[in-house]
Structure 1
Amino acid sequence: MVVEHWFDFACPYCYIAQDRNRILRDRGIEVVEHAFRSHPGIPPGGKPAGPRVGPTYEFLAREAESAGLPLRWSSRMPHTRPALAAFEWLKRARPKVAQRFAESVFAAHFAQRQDIESVALLTILAEAAGGDPVPLRAALADGTAYEALYKSERAAKRYGVERTPTWNVLGQSVSGLRPRVWFRDLTTVLRPTG
């Protein structure tokens, strides 16, 4: 069984959704991840982020802690287009490398407060994930990587994806972060029998 998942590196719910995808994968469900800019209007250089206080941020902190994911808020909302394009470009040839790359980009932003728009950082993270940084840098420079991102976003429109995280399960789109138990229960429905 395959579950499709759309994410953005700027989305804290997507950061925590890594834990939900791990639940699916640990139970033998294939998760195919796709890049989607949930805030395409954020310009290069990002934009200042307001204070992260109140019930929503308390919820995110609790969920991140339960998932074992460090959460340290950056003072800026990042421009994620280069990172998402790099992910999609890496995924075309080596999905496992792209998955490790995505995990490291999420950690760089949400745990280490690094600038995930930096091509230098992205190529370092790609190499650490097992990718070749030289062709990735070239694909970001010549636009090839961005073409891969546009394809992913066009596919998202066909599925009706409007925000992140969104999963497509058995032809149904489910948006928003669901509790861990929802994903554990889902695996009993999706697990092949016989």
Structure 2
Amino acid sequence: MRVEIWSDIACPWCYVGKARFEKGLAGFAHRDDVEVVHRSFELDPGRAKGDTELVIDMLAQKYGRSPEQARGMEASVAANAQAEGLGYRADGRDHGSTFDIHRLLHLAKARGRQDELLTRVYRANFAEERSVFDDAVLADLAVEAGLDADEARAVLADPGAYADGVRADEREAAELGADAVPFFVLDRRYGISGGQPAEVFAQALEQAWKDREAPGLTPVGGDAAACDADGACDVDRSEASDQPV
């Protein structure tokens, strides 16, 4: 059974959702028969390479909040991350273009090291004092994930390398109706949007395994926190209009 996960490194709920999915998968009896594939989804596709700013400043400007309110928004996500055992810096993080990160993740997929790289990039972005929008940092993370340093640097230096793969993932997300991430597709039969509780993922895996011959894509779970195609990240999708984070 294949599970495809559309996500963006800039999305805090993708970071939290990955941890929750992995908890649900850990208790699944057929977990060794599950292939997990990470797909590309940019929350800020129009941002140019090198155009970075502090997350707090971006949130304050985007939502018309004060810096103190923006910090409170980040603190709310941090509490959810910490509840899953994840590190999270609520202040001092950078925001920028994730296109090169997605291209590098496609290289990692080709080399069988995609999850290893994604895990390290998430940790660097959300928990550590390392900017993932710096090519030197990305190259170091690639090496930590088991990739060849020269090959990783070559991909980062060539804007066209794996660009088609990133765009293809994004087109496919649109075709599937994914307007927010994280977005999980189980065996092309069940769709789960947002950072759902681990129990929802566990139940969905069980159901998908039982119904492997059923056609179509069926939504699973209710509203859950996610980051939409406009880059807005919610505390709770049901309260998205007034509680973005």
Tell me if both proteins adopt one fold, taking TM over 0.5 as the criterion. yes
Specify which of 206, 229, 232 is matched with residue 188 of structure 1.
Answer: 206
Specify which of 80, 83, 89 is matched with residue 98 of structure 2.
Answer: 80
Measured at CA, do residues 164 and 101 of structure 1 come closer, stay the same or move farther in structure 2, by a change above 3 Å?
Answer: same
- Any idea what SS the aligned residue of 2:179 has? coil
Deviations 1:90-133 (A, max 9, x none): 21232xx1111110000101001421111111111111111112
Distance in 2 between residues matched to 1:100 and 1:191, nearest whole Å: 25
How large is the Cα RMSD of the aligned pairs? Answer: 2.1
Q: Which has the higher contact order (CA 8 A, sep 6+)?
A: 1
Decide which structure has the larger Cα Rg and report it.
2
Query: Are the equivalent residues in 2 in contact too, given 1:159–1:173 (CA < 8 A)?
Result: no
Q: How does 1:36-185 map to 2 (within 5 A)?
A: 36-44=41-49, 45-50=51-56, 51-54=70-73, 57-58=75-76, 60-73=77-90, 74-94=92-112, 97-142=113-158, 143-169=160-186, 170-185=188-203
Normalized against structure 1, the TM-score is what? 0.86
- Any idea what SS the aligned residue of 2:136 has? helix
Distance in 1 between residues matched to 2:122 and 2:93, nearest whole Å: 15
Distance in 2 between residues matched to 1:12 and 1:101, nearest whole Å: 17
Residue 148 of structure 1: CA displacement? 2.5
Measured at CA, do residues 3 and 161 of structure 1 come closer, stay the same or move farther in structure 2, by a change above 3 Å?
Answer: same
Residue 147 of structure 1: CA displacement? 2.7
Task: Number of aligned residue pairs: give it.
Answer: 189
- Any idea what SS the aligned residue of 1:34 has? strand
Query: Are the equivalent residues in 2 in contact too, given 1:42–1:77 (CA < 8 A)?
Result: no
Residue 57 of structure 1: CA displacement? 4.3
- Unpaired runs of 5+ residues, structure 2, are 57-69, 212-245
Q: What percentage of aligned pairs have identical amino acids?
A: 27
